[in-house]
Amino acid sequence: MIYQIPINQIYEHIYINFKYQNKMNTKKVKAYGTEAPDAILEQLDINRREITLKDVEIDILYCGVCHSDLHFARNDWGFTVYPVVPGHEIVGKVIRVGDGVSKFKAGDVVAVGCLVDSCRSCNNCKNDLEQYCPEWVGTYGGQDKHLNSPTYGGYSESIVVDEHFVLNIPENLDLAGVAPVLCAGITTWSPLRHWHVGKGTKVAVVGLGGLGHMAIKLANALGADVTLLSRSPNKKQDALDLGAHQMVISTDEEQMAAVQNHFDLIIDTVPYAHDINPYVGALSTNGTLVIVGYLGPLDPMLNSVPMVMGRKNVAGSLIGGIAETQELLDFCGKHDITSDIEIIKIQDINQAYERMLKSDVHYRFVIDMASLKK
């Protein structure tokens, strides 16, 4: 027997699609992005959806430059769909809101981080862990559920986001300096909170870049004893100024031997494959090495001996949920914490990427998006 779909269902399907597509108007906005892994970033046009009931339309003022932007633009992780418009450390001014929006109004200064949607009904969503929702939508490289097309990030004039994923910024914080809190900040805050870092916890941070410098500031503000593990001896004074209590040169075997079995928590921000075994050795019993930087198979392999012999843990962590990001913004407001930044024009983004590859960032580039309007 041939199964036949009732004709009224087919009509209904066509009608809904027709109505939906007709209803969902788009607006063309200027952006900066790339069409291929080996191409530079250039100006291009993208479509933003018109606001729906719960949407907030934001005029972007500043956008931080994360190493993930570079990984994604160059297809380091192998799943980039082009064109790409990176940027997930967004600060901007609300220009319009949908009729059902209750948290924001035109004129508010707000923030958007790495997430712009999720299913809202799975256990992770219900537990404020939207970043682990199987249907989470990244600010760029995700799938806009309204337009059924890729999401584009903050290297653009404006963005439209459901109010659930829009955050409040404490009034005392510098707007450009707060942008990196939305990714570099929350990515290190989430493990600090999950592993209950507080007064006297021995925390080490591997790599002094965007994530690393926020990790030092936040761990210090939580009362931890903070150590930077870095391959760059010239960063020592900066590390101390940021709030680290000491620095260990990670390539110096003697210095590493002196911190064996020492740390309660190590946050590893290094973006590329590297040997994590010396860091596992530096963990105390029950200590945890949490990888937030590198994505992929470990090389060299992980040796289980120090883990088994010392009940040591190796873990990973992805950004943070919306409630946790708001908690961090409020904490930053209370402790007057922002990122140490270098403001650039959007036209300088390709040089910024080259400098980021050489670890020559002090300690986050933030794009003044007014440069895109000129």
Site residues for Zn ion per CB under 5 A: 66, 68, 118-119, 122, 125, 133, 183
Query: CA of 149: how far to CAs of 50, 55, 60, 146, 152, in Å?
Result: 14, 17, 21, 8, 9
Between residues 118 and 338, which has the closer beta carbon with respect to Zn ion? 118
Between residues 20 and 272, which has the closer beta carbon with respect to ligand NAP? 272
Structure tokens belonging to residue 277: 């075994």
CB of 65 to ligand NAP, least distance (A): 8
CB of 357 to ligand NAP, least distance (A): 6
Instruction: Give the bridge partners for 84, in sequence order.
Output: 34
φ and ψ at 362, to 5 degrees? -130, 80
Between residues 118 and 325, which has the closer beta carbon with respect to Zn ion? 118
Sole residue written with tokens 């924001």: 104
Sole residue written with tokens 């990888």: 291
Which of ligand NAP, Zn ion, none does residue 243 bind (CB under 5 to 8 Å by kind)? none
Which of ligand NAP, Zn ion, none does residue 271 bind (CB under 5 to 8 Å by kind)? ligand NAP
Helices then strands (H, E): number in the chain? Answer: 13, 19
Which of Zn ion, ligand NAP, none does residue 361 bind (CB under 5 to 8 Å by kind)? ligand NAP
Between residues 87 and 212, which has the closer beta carbon with respect to ligand NAP? 212
CB of 126 to ligand NAP, least distance (A): 21
Which of Zn ion, ligand NAP, none does residue 133 bind (CB under 5 to 8 Å by kind)? Zn ion
Between residues 251 and 285, which has the closer beta carbon with respect to ligand NAP? 251
Residues 244, 216: Cα–Cα separation, whole Å: 6
Residue type, 191: P
Which of Zn ion, ligand NAP, none does residue 272 bind (CB under 5 to 8 Å by kind)? ligand NAP
Q: Which residues bind ligand NAP (CB under 6 A)?
A: 66-68, 71, 183-184, 187, 207-212, 230-232, 235, 269-272, 292-293, 317-319, 356, 359, 361
Identify each DSSP E strand in the chain by its residue range: 26-33, 42-49, 55-65, 90-97, 109-112, 115-117, 137-138, 143-144, 149-150, 158-162, 167-168, 202-206, 225-230, 246-249, 263-268, 283-291, 313-316, 341-345, 364-368
Between residues 298 and 318, which has the closer beta carbon with respect to ligand NAP? 318
Which of Zn ion, ligand NAP, none does residue 11 bind (CB under 5 to 8 Å by kind)? none
